[in-house]
Amino acid sequence: MLRQVAEGVLVHESAFVQSNAVVVQGRDGVLLIDPGVTGSELGCLAGDLRELGRPVVAGFSTHPDWDHLLWHARLGEAPRYGTARCAAAVRDQLSDAGAKERIADHLLETEIAGQVPLDLLGLITGLPAGTARIPWDGPQARLIEHQAHAPGHAALLIEERGVLVAGDMLSDVLVPMLDLDGAADPIEDYLAALRLLEEVAGEADVVVPGHGSVGGPGQAQARIEQDRAYVLALRDGRDPDDPRIGPSAKPGWEWVSDVHTGQRQRLARRSEGDGTPR
C-alpha cells in the first residue's frame, strides 16, 4: 500500500527488511525510485499506480545492489536510470551469466526465496557523468552522487517537496554499511558522502532511507550525525554507542550487530595489512 509522506510523494514499504520504494508524482506520470521487492509487492505497487491513473514515466536506482535494481512488467517500459558509475557496475555484474542464479541462491536463505522477479533486473541507463537532475517532467530531483556503500550511489533531493531519498544511508535500523570490497578508503568515502548529504539536510523535511522508517523534520540531520558517529568509532577502533546494535536494537534486527562485528573485523585486517595504525 502506498503511503503519502509529502505532497506528491508516496512510499511503498516492503515486508523484506523495510525496503522503501518511492513514488514522485509528476504532470503526466510518476518517477519510481528503487521499486521492490517481491513479485506480489511489485504487482501491488503497479495496481496502486493504475488506480491513481499515474503511469510510470521514469525509474531510478540509487545504487547497484540487487534489491534496488528490480522491476516488473506491469510497471511498463519507462526509461530506468542510474548514475554512470552505477550503470557500469551493473553491467559488470550482469556480464557474468551466473549473476542472477547466484542472487536467487542467496535468497534461498531468506523468507522471500523464489518470490523475487529477476528477469528485468538491472536494465538501467547510465546518466551522463555530472548530470545534476533526473530528466523528467515532474518536480526537480537533484542528484547527490557519492561513493559510500556502493559505487555510483546517489541520493535524490526532491526539491519542491522537501524530501531526501537517501538510498542505503540514513537508516534508523541499519548501521552504515561500508564498501569494503571495492573502495580504497571506505571510511573517508562514507564521511565525504555524509558531508554532501549534510549540505542539503536543511532543505529536507522528510528523509526516506532505503531500509527503515521514514523520518520527519530534523531527522535528516540527526541521522547524519548518528551515522557519522558510528563511522568515526569504526575508524578509531572504538565500540560505538549506537542504538541500532547491541541490546537496544529493534526486535527482529538483532542481526545488524553481526554486520557491525564483521565490518569491525575486516577493517582491523585491512589496517594490519597496510600497517595503518588504529
**What CATH number is attached to the domain comprising 98?**
3.60.15.10
Q: Global pTM?
A: 0.95
Q: Is 189 exposed, middle or buried (0-12, 13-18, 19+ CB in 10 A)?
A: buried
Q: pLDDT-based confidence at 270, cuts 50/70/90?
A: confident
Q: Write down the mean pLDDT value for the chain.
A: 96
Cα angle at 141 between 139 and 146, to 5 degrees? 175
Give residue 99's domain range: 2-274
Q: pLDDT-based confidence at 103, cuts 50/70/90?
A: very high
Please check the confidence at residue 278 and state whether its pLDDT lies above 70.
no
State the total domains in the chain: 1
CA separation for the pair 57, 141 (Å, rounded): 14
pLDDT tens for 13-28 read 999 999 999 999 999 9
Q: pLDDT-based confidence at 272, cuts 50/70/90?
A: confident
How many C-beta atoms lie closer than 10 Å to residue 238's C-beta? Answer: 12
Q: Give the mean pLDDT of 179-200.
A: 97
CA torsion angle for 184, 168, 223, 161 (degrees, to 10)?
130
pLDDT tens for 121-136 read 999 999 999 999 999 9
Please check the confidence at residue 273 and state whether its pLDDT lies above 80.
no
Q: Which of 81, 67, 71, 75 is nearest to 18 (CA)?
A: 67
Please check the confidence at residue 1 and state whether its pLDDT lies above 90.
no
